[in-house]
């Protein structure tokens, strides 16, 4: 059974853009996931790096690649990820939300930020799955975001993979390459894992006041909030499963979670992680590069 048939939704901690160039546990995890995942008919993806007041849906037929970062290897700025969109389905999603009383906009000019194309390039390097990016609405509470994910599921119940792209913890100010994990990060990571795997939605909704050291782990919360959209889309999952756990630079939890479809709770054997392709086997031509 293909993973996309097994999972309705994924929360992926996308890390830094140069994860595509690294040979690290997180990069091997993403490439391993991509090597075994089936191709859904469409991907709806909510990135921490696209925030708007109202929900906004990317309705382009082909997306530009946004290099919305600085200070990284030159090779990253040559990468192009020519994902095609699904404009008719984007309009359909907009109409469905409007019919539910949710104001929603269509954006046809914006490209894909690195919170979208970095994980998708690892999963689908051929860029052969239609993508519907959706913004993170700043006016929505965590509970509103869960409802939004539920509405997405009702609009596209079959052969759709929803991805929330962010980070379980995201304190760049405290990041130090090679540093052991901060105790605050370990505590928050464990709290999240415990409550998410138990589907303790009430506790998760109160993460700002109930989780340990929230402000240390999330000076701003945009990297955590896509998780709630994923929870809504996967509301009927038997139990979320931990797919990967790692803490980078002391302060970034790169944990990722899958939300199985009902009756499809069997999880792939992630023990095969080390057999995933390594960057040395990806020559430059493996990337859609342009000078």
What would the pLDDT profile of 47-66 be if each residue is shown by its tens digit? 999 999 999 999 999 999 99
The residues, ordered by sequence, that sit 6+ positions from 118 with a Cβ below 8 Å of its Cβ are 14, 15, 17, 19, 20
Residue with tokens 């984007």: 90
CA gap 9, 162 in Å, rounded: 5
Domains in the chain: ranges and CATH: 3-272 (3.40.830.10)
188 neighbors 213 (Cβ within 8 angstroms): yes
What tokens appear for 43 in the block?
């991907």
pLDDT reading at 183 higher than 90: yes
CA distance 195 to 186: 14
Residue 124 has pLDDT above 60, yes or no: yes
Of 33-47, 84-98, 238-252, give the range with the top mean pLDDT.
84-98
Confidence of residue 145 (pLDDT cuts 50, 70, 90): very high
Q: Has residue 166 got a pLDDT over 90?
A: yes
What does the pLDDT look like over 238-254, one tens digit per residue? 889 899 999 999 999 99
Least confident of 14-23, 53-62, 120-129, 220-229: 14-23
Q: Which two tokens stand for residue 175?
A: 């990041």
- Record the tokens describing residue 105, joined without a space: 């906009």
SS3 38: coil
């Amino acid at each position: 059974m293909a993973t996309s048939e097994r999972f309705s939704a994924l929360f992926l901690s996308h890390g830094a853009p140069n994860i595509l160039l690294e040979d690290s546990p997180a990069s091997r995890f993403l490439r391993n996931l991509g090597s075994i995942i089936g191709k859904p008919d469409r991907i709806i993806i909510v990135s921490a790096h696209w925030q708007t007041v109202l929900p906004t849906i990317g309705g382009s037929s082909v997306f530009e690649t946004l290099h919305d970062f600085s200070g990284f290897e030159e090779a990253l700025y040559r990468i192009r990820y020519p994902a095609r969109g699904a404009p008719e389905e984007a309009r359909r999603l907009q109409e469905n939300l409007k019919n539910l009383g949710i104001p929603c906009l269509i954006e046809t000019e914006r490209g894909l930020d690195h919170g979208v194309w970095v994980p998708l390039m690892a999963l689908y390097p051929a860029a052969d799955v239609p993508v519907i990016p959706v913004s993170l609405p700043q006016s929505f509470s965590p509970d509103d975001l869960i409802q939004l994910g539920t509405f997405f599921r009702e609009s596209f119940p079959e052969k759709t993979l929803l991805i929330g792209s962010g980070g379980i913890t995201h304190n760049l100010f405290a990041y130090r390459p090679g540093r052991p994990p901060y105790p605050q990060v370990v505590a928050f990571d464990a709290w999240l894992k415990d409550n998410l795997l138990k589907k303790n939605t009430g506790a998760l909704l109160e993460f700002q006041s109930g989780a340990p050291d929230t402000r240390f782990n999330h000076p701003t919360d945009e990297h955590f909030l896509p998780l709630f959209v994923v929870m809504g889309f996967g509301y009927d999952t038997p139990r979320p499963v931990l797919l990967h756990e790692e803490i980078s630079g002391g302060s970034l939890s790169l944990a990722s979670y899958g939300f199985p479809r009902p009756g499809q709770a069997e999880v792939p054997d992630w023990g095969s992680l080390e057999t995933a392709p390594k960057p040395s086997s990806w020559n430059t031509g493996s990337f859609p590069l342009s000078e």
